[in-house]
Amino acid sequence: MSKIIIANFKMELDLKQSLKLIENYKKIFLTHKIKYKIIVCPDFLSLAYLSAKKQEKRTFPFHLASQTIGHLKYGALTGEVSPLSLKNIGVNYSLIGHSERRQMGEKNSLINKKIKMALKAKIVPIVCLGSEKKLTKNTLHKFITNELKEILVNLSKSKIKKIIIAYEPVWAISPNEPCSPKIASQVHSFIKDYFNNKYKINICLLYGGSVNDINAKDYLAYDNIDGLLVGNASLSALKFKKIIS
Ligand code: PGA
């Protein structure tokens, strides 16, 4: 299975800027052979524009993901977007529980509902987790175990198999210091073991947090890092090209 690289534009770009960046991304694909699966997460409006372009042209080299997703099919949820609308426009992935959403009040119980609803709509959840502060090994393992228990409540093994997890230590999210690839890989071993022991699943596990054009290859060199979730560095086509090529 090819490794996955996700570009998370957050709310760093307006519609015009997102579309321009995507055009520049496309040029990379014209001139380079890309061995990774690339998933782009622009804001909701850009997502709708891009999905229309994707259908028009057919040669659209990326997958699209939303940055969050509603936890109901329909409802009185002002400002939210239904998983069905996302599916309608051909979006097959969604970030869920990104730390910036958690900082706005999203709790594990809501993240659990979002995962379930995304799966019902046949959208692959990319679920983010990580501690806010640096923790000692044992405390971090306890924290992660607790997070996983809460976000995966009442999900069967067959559903869990479809999920992608992104380990993102919040303290490493830019513009902060990155978590070293070696430490990230050690935490990945712990998370992979958790899924292997509990569900007999080799979970797809990405790393995110201050990944850039210089350090990306060091993370990707580890077998247990199945890909990267890139924020800031994805906003430059030049840096993103270096990450993916
Ligand atoms: P960063 O963001 O690459 O800018 O640290 C990663 C993320 O927030 O997903």
d(CA 97, CA 105): 10
Of 132, 211, 219, 236, best ligand 1 pocket probe by most atoms within 8 Å of the beta carbon: 211
Q: How crowded is residue 158: how many other Cβ atoms within 10 Å of its Cβ? A: 10
In single-letter form, the type of residue at position 71 comes to H
Respond yes or no on whether the N-terminal peptide bond of residue 169 is cis (omega within 30° of 0): no
Consecutive H or E run containing 221: none
Residue having the nearest C-alpha atom to atom 1 of ligand 1: 231
Show which residues are catalytic: 98, 168
pLDDT at 59: 67
Residue having the nearest C-alpha atom to atom 2 of ligand 1: 231
Q: How crowded is residue 118: how many other Cβ atoms within 10 Å of its Cβ? A: 26
Determine the straight-line distance between the first and last CA of the chain, rounded to whole angstroms: 17
Strand extents, DSSP E, the chain: 4-8, 37-41, 63-66, 93-96, 124-129, 164-167, 204-208, 227-230
Q: How crowded is residue 125: how many other Cβ atoms within 10 Å of its Cβ? A: 27
Residue ranges around ligand 1 (CB below 6 Å): 8, 168, 173-174, 208-211, 229-233
- Mean pLDDT in residue range 68-90: 96
- The string of pLDDT tens digits covering residues 201-243 is 999 999 999 999 999 999 999 999 999 999 999 999 999 999 9
Of 41, 229, 243, best ligand 1 pocket probe by most atoms within 8 Å of the beta carbon: 229
d(CA 95, CA 5): 13
Non-local (6+) Cβ contacts of 243 within 8 A are 5, 211, 212, 213, 216, 228, 230, 233, 234
Residue having the nearest C-alpha atom to atom 6 of ligand 1: 231
Q: Is the pTM of this model over 0.85?
A: yes
Dist. CA 145 → ligand 1 center (Å): 22
Q: Which atom of ligand 1 is nearest to the CA of 100?
A: 8
- The string of pLDDT tens digits covering residues 115-172 is 999 999 999 999 999 999 999 999 999 999 999 999 999 999 999 999 999 999 999 9
Q: Which atom of ligand 1 is nearest to the CA of 178?
A: 5
